Amino acid sequence: MSQEYIAGSCNIGTGEIRRRQVVALAGAAISLTSIVGLISTDAAKSARFSLFIPLMVFAIGFIQSRKKFCLAYGFMGTFNFGKLGQISRVSDPIAKKADRKTALTILAQSTALALGLTLATLVLPL
């Protein structure tokens, strides 16, 4: 596992990755609890669109942890491989541009994953 900043590829270390894994698990737990609640209360199928938000939380946490890249840090031009919350600035404008491109890619991937999972819940025969 890389423990150094690589523009457009890696901007978080082990502690930050763990934090994103916890976010992904929280998003998954909230999503599962919500779908069970919607199904058990016989809510309208259209209510399942509300799952998009917790699924988006799951997707962003999951993809960031897998890619070892923080979406927000990428947009802000920062990185962290030290203690949690101890961020450093990216000074190279080319590196910042690469980070923003990766952040946009992660945002698009997360949106697609959350939307796909949301739509999958709509077609469930439950």
| pLDDT surpassing 90 at residue 82 | no
Residue 1 has pLDDT above 90, yes or no: no
The mean pLDDT of 97-119, rounded to a whole number, is 98
Q: Tell me if 39 sits within 8 A of 126, measured CB to CB.
A: yes
- Angstrom CA distances, 41 to 27, 34, 38, 81, 124, stand at 21, 11, 5, 45, 15
User: What pLDDT was estimated at residue 3?
Assistant: 81
The pLDDT confidence band at residue 86, using thresholds 50, 70 and 90, is confident
